[in-house]
Structure 1
Amino acid sequence: MQPLFKHPNFVHFWIGQIASSFAFQMLSVGIGWQMYDLTNSPMALGLVGLCQFLPQLLLTLVVGHVADRYNRRLICVCTRFTMAMTVGILVYGNMTSTVSANMIYTCAVLLGTARAFEMPANQAILPNLIPSALLSRAVSAMASAREISVIAGPALGGLIYLLGPTTLYASSMSCFLLSCVIMFLLRYNFTVTTKSPINIEHLFGGLTFIRGNKVILGSVSLDMFAVLLGGATALLPIVAKDILQTGPWGLGLLRCAPALGALLMSVYLARHPLTHSVGKIMFAAVAIFGVATIVFGLSESLILSMLALTLLGASDMISVVIRSTLVQLETPDDMRGRVSAANSVFIGSSNQLGEFESGVTAAWFGVVPAIIIGGVGTIAVVGLWMHLFPDLLKRRTLDKEND
């Protein structure tokens, strides 16, 4: 079997993903730190996440249809160019000293809208670039690309922010433009394999497919609720500044710690793909995610906090690889856009909506109790989901034909 990185199109796509993810991670550091600097409000940090999630939720049916009917490569090109121009607004706002919380909220909505169209198209491209036997390794390799960016992006972003937010946003915009060019040059021929009429049944096809497949429904919903409850990334600026008594550089280190754990795990999984007991492994990984969240919430040491976040990232990566591979392997190509769009809502719920949830609970109960409550809630969800989705618990392999 030809090695994964011997496929030129996959390598091209992989590099483009690094550039795009690098841009977004640097941007997240800048927006998070500047918003907290402007407002000193945990709720404001949560609202940034909500502004990015709502467009994704509202456009779910539309973006899935678009990804199934139009060239997915060109969709990625257009959306990444839109993100670059959106970051350009923040560059202008900081250069003219007109940046405000409302400007950041507006840019968050624009970014969320662009990502709503990009995510299903980007996810649906991958199975067409490599043989299906290599898909699990490809998912792990793509995760590695993202985590490389997540490690370098926040760390470098925190340092660049010391030169001023304008410099940081300009760097992020440049990376988005680079990714745009790389995707434009990707050799990818898209053909519409079905011309079924556009109706309610067609638009809801992705959600219907997920609901009818208990293994996929269980895996995506488990991952969603785990990160929704246990994810505390929106609170990292507060933890860094108020609890750990550090600056933007410390925030960058905290942001890259989960990525370090995820990167190490994704590299391991790319070389040693999961071949047995994938259901039990997924539940165990999510439970560890909850425990790591509790340790992070109790920590008052930068080193211990980074270790807890590293473990958190590694366990989350196991869940991500299992979920993503199951979705791609069991979905027909002519439905991958709609299914990926529906899956993106689950991902967005866990990430952006999770940031909003963290901001609200921190405002109500305090930062530390909010993080601990989230970790305990994640462990509770694991126990409940083991009872609700026995088929997922019993799943032995990623490929149903070999189960």
Structure 2
Amino acid sequence: MSDPDSFRALLGHRSYVYFWLTRLSSQLAGQMMMVALGWQMYDLTSSAWDLGLVGLAQFLPALLLTLPAGHVADRYHRARVMLGATALQALAAAGLTWASHGGWASRELILLVSIGLGVAKAFQMPASQALPALLVPMGLLPRAVALSSSGMQLAIIGGPAIGGLLYVAGADVVYLLCAALLLLGCALAAGIRHEAPAAAQARSWRTVFDGVHFLRGQPVMLGAISLDLFAVLLGGATALLPIFAKDILHTGPWGLGLLRAAPAVGALLMSAWLARRPLERRVGHWMLSAVGVFGLCMLVFALSTSLWLSMVALLVSGAADMVSVVIRQTLVQLETPDEMRGRVSAVNSIFIGASNQLGEFESGTTAALMGPVGSVLLGGVGVLAVTLAWTRLFPGLWQRDRLHPQREPS
């Protein structure tokens, strides 16, 4: 089937279109909210430590709840789980709008709301990652996953830029638009139709850890997921972008929005390239090399005093990270049985959440000790060290030739 025919076929599945639009609107709102939360927290406290706490407050609920959330995604109606998580985020955005407009937003309120967002995302990610397989035929699944990822990248590009520009008019304006987008997402999620899970699936809460047990027996998948964890955990600088924007690059909220959007621009360009020229051979080498490039970009970003050079470094880092993401997500989709996809997606979500939220806490902590530049430099060196270590710890990943195991040479 040609590319235009594939996309037309996807558009013929109404529930998938609703799903795509739900993810787009909620991701756009989430990115805008992260920009506003970071800038508002730094305005209130001028503390790198508090910026890190925002990430930690989102990570801890995800750490505690994501495995049970994977069980929920395999046992209950995934679209309704997604709807509930989106509604909780809409409630958080509405509360922030009220507090910011009334002038009583505080450090403690931002941290409390961050915990609520962490709870919502803990349930949202496994359900949304496992949902496409129920909405389109298996022959269209790779295209559906790619299209969904492209929509998320568009939101990651547009959300920070819009949030940064609107913040000039006030944090309450940003949060109000976030609430509206999330309510739209709720309405769209209510229109998603799919079959309920079979009664035989996930009968007992003892199956919560099945995803962990499954990955333990899949060293290539485990290596790919853990590599992404440590790369972003050590090399991510998202939490420190307000400091770099304000104190090092001497720009305002609009500059922060551009910095946050730059990695997604690189990721979107790379995803478009990979859609036309997919990786066919030596995928393990490509993945580890891309992570190494990501680490080098972090070193350049740490030493840059130019907004444009910093944006280029972040753009290239996003492109390199997308190579790793495409390989990892494809492996998870191809090698996980459908009845376990929610629980395996939950484990994957923990790794993603750890690399993002816990990485923000790590960045804030090390920045408080050695400054933002030293923190990012240390992280970049750490990424390079992990890349070298993973070639020895996971030789199967390093030697992986093709994504499809059935096509591996005997």
Q: The TM-score by the shorter chain falls in which range? A: over 0.9
The CA deviation at 1:193 is: 5.9
Aligned to 1:169: 175
What code does the residue aligned with 1:230 have?
G
Aligned to 2:393: 388
C-alpha separation in 2, matches of 1:131 and 1:386: 36
Which of 41, 46, 53 is the aligned partner of 2:52? 46
C-alpha separation in 1, matches of 2:90 and 2:339: 30
Question: How do 1:49-60 and structure 2 match up within 5 A?
Answer: 49-60=55-66
Which of 311, 316, 329 is the aligned partner of 2:316? 311
TM-score by length of 1: 0.97
- In structure 1, the gaps of 5 or more residues are none
Please state if 1:7 is matched with 2:13.
no
2:71–2:205 Cα contact (<8 Å) kept? no
Please state if 1:294 is matched with 2:299.
yes
Distance change in 2, residues 1:5/1:176 (3 Å) = farther
C-alpha separation in 2, matches of 1:245 and 1:294: 19
C-alpha separation in 2, matches of 1:194 and 1:277: 39
1:135–1:325 Cα contact (<8 Å) kept? no
Aligned to 1:64: 70
C-alpha separation in 1, matches of 2:404 and 2:200: 25
RMSD, matched Cα:
1.3
1:231–1:355 Cα contact (<8 Å) kept? yes
What code does the residue aligned with 2:391 have?
M
- Deviation digits for residues 186-205 of structure 1 (CA, Å, limit 9, x no counterpart): 232233263454153x1110
DSSP 3-state at the match of 2:131: helix
- In structure 2, the gaps of 5 or more residues are none
The CA deviation at 1:257 is: 0.5
DSSP 3-state at the match of 1:192: coil
DSSP 3-state at the match of 2:152: helix
What code does the residue aligned with 2:40 have?
Q
What is the identity percentage for the equivalent residue pairs of Structure 1 and Structure 2?
Answer: 51
Aligned to 1:247: 252
Please state if 1:214 is matched with 2:219.
yes
DSSP 3-state at the match of 1:289: helix
C-alpha separation in 2, matches of 1:277 and 1:136: 20
- Deviation digits for residues 292-337 of structure 1 (CA, Å, limit 9, x no counterpart): 1110001000000000000000011111111111111111111111
DSSP 3-state at the match of 1:276: coil
1:140–1:267 Cα contact (<8 Å) kept? no
Question: How do 1:252-291 and structure 2 match up within 5 A?
Answer: 252-291=257-296
Distance change in 2, residues 1:307/1:259 (3 Å) = same
C-alpha separation in 2, matches of 1:12 and 1:5: 15
The CA deviation at 1:402 is: 1.9
Distance change in 2, residues 1:193/1:388 (3 Å) = farther
C-alpha separation in 2, matches of 1:30 and 1:132: 39
C-alpha separation in 2, matches of 1:231 and 1:196: 35
Aligned to 2:39: 33
Equivalenced residue count is 402
